[in-house]
A and B are shown apart, each in its own frame.
Chain A
Amino acid sequence: MSLRIEEHPILTFKKGKKVTFTFDGKKLEGFEGEPIAAALHAAGIRLLRHSPHKNRARGFFCAIGRCSSCMMEVNGVVNTMTCITPLAAGMDVKTQKGHGVIKP
């Protein structure tokens, strides 16, 4: 069963248009405007980064841009909070290792 909710007793979900983006080089689909972390989650991906000191697997936790657990590299920008950053067509999303590297 897909994680996307097709039918709900109370809610209807307005989706943006379907777009493709890349995650660690792989092509994935999501809906424009939904948070990157949500699109990844729907595609079955919840490991978003590895922690700086102990290299622990991390996903999102708060989903409202507070806890910093969901930070990834998006279009070359490290430490992007993917739980509140809207997905756009062609985005290049990468798992982040540690604090990430800021390229000069």
Chain B
Amino acid sequence: MSRQTEIFVVGGGPAGLSAAIVAAELGAKVLLVDDNATLGGQLIKQTHRFFGSSARDAGIRGIAIAEKLCQEVQARKKNLQVLLNTSAVGFYGDGEAGILSPDRYEKVTYERVVVGTGAVENSLNFENNDLPGIYGAGAVQTLMNVHGIRPGHKILMVGSGNIGLIVSYQLLQAGVQVIGVVEAMPTIGGYLVHASKIRRLGVPIMTGHTIVKALGTDGVTGALLCRLDDKFQRIPNTEFEVACDCICLAVGLSPLIDLFQQAKCKMVYIPELGGLVPLHDGNMRTTNPRVYVAGDASGIEEATTAILGGRIAGARAYESIHGPSATAQKIVDDANLELKSLRAGSTGDRIRWGRERLSQEIAAC
């Protein structure tokens, strides 16, 4: 069987949903696929209140944002079709993609595609890092906040970025003892407000430390930690053991980029954006004129910026088929204004540098 659409959206997280909602609102025929059983992407496990901009979802929990986006999808189902449990497995020829559902494989022909595949969690190199009981921070959130199951009784957190800090707090809320947060850098990576929250509850944050090995044979029973010098080298004779039954790795994310590579989009390596990302302009268009990008796949950031990037991608993808639209332009202008304020200040430094490098690469291209 084959399906035909104007705008094909891959991924039902904040970016893909926003792109689909905007494109459908403007009048395009949209097909969205997601390989999960529910829409919302990683928002469905985020119980914390978002900072965001006051205009968009600040103070609202991630789970509520997911519900809101799903309602907007429902309201536009006349020209926005959603297929769950369905993966976009590859592009074939120009404007053709294959989608795989549990019971069938179909072809999709489209005018434009917005790819919002998100990211995958990074692991970390240390001895025994494959033991059962070592989980990514997203996995811990899924198990705990979606399925209502604690990852263990005593957990060690590795990484003090915002995810490590927020998930530590969520673990405490679920009744798990967090024995400490290990951070290789000399300072805490995330916002101080998140760090203070867990420190007030007695969780030590060990900066300038790393994990040497996980202890245990069939599962984690503890960890060996040590101190690091200012060149990130292990300081001899500083090793010490801690007892825990699981270890959570919150050591960053990498954009999920397979589809862009397959679509022959030019890729660039920008560490500030999480690694390899498809080169894209301010309209979120990649070097393959049919392909747009949004969300973490365009650079690791957070859900509010993913929503805004998705709105820009959806609006511009619509315009590239139907011609300029004042409504679309307004959506893009508003989104850009919000993005600018979200990325302002010292906490947005890395993202701004990363995006600056991206625009230099585009200019040279």
Contacts and interface: CB of A to CB of B under 8 A. Distances in A.
Interface of A: 1, 3-5, 8-11, 13, 15, 34-35, 38, 41-42, 46-48, 51, 56-67, 69, 83-84, 86
A46 B143 contact: no
The 3 closest A-B pairs by CB, nearest first: A59-B132, A13-B148, A63-B139
Interface stretch (B18-26, B149-157, B233-241, B260-268): B149-157
Given A5-B144, A38-B143, A57-B131, A63 B138 contact: yes
Interface in B92-135: 120-121, 123, 130-135
A57 B149 contact: no
Given A48-B132, A57-B219, A41 B61 contact: no
Contacts of B174: 5, 8
Nearest to A34: B147
A92 to B, nearest CB: 20
A47 B220 CA distance: 11
Given A58-B132, A61-B136, A35 B147 contact: yes
Contacts of B130: 51, 56, 58, 69
A41 B144 CA distance: 11
A5 B153 CA distance: 11
A62 B150 contact: no
Mostly helix, strand, loop or mixed at chain B's interface? loop
Given A5-B175, A10-B47, A65 B35 contact: yes
B173 A10 contact: yes
A47 B148 contact: no
Contacts of A4: 148-150
B142 A5 contact: no
Nearest to A51: B130
B71 interface: no
A60 B248 CA distance: 12
B217 interface: yes
A67 B119 CA distance: 12
20 contacts: A1-B175, A3-B149, A5-B149, A9-B173, A10-B61, A11-B145, A15-B148, A38-B143, A38-B149, A46-B132, A48-B132, A61-B134, A63-B138, A63-B140, A63-B142, A63-B143, A64-B139, A64-B142, A65-B35, A69-B130
Given A11-B47, A63-B143, A42 B149 contact: yes
Interface string B156-169: 00000000000000
A59 B219 contact: yes
Given A64-B142, A69-B130, 20 more contacts: A1-B175, A4-B149, A4-B150, A5-B175, A8-B174, A10-B173, A13-B148, A35-B147, A47-B218, A48-B132, A56-B130, A59-B131, A60-B132, A60-B139, A61-B135, A61-B139, A64-B139, A67-B120, A83-B139, A86-B37
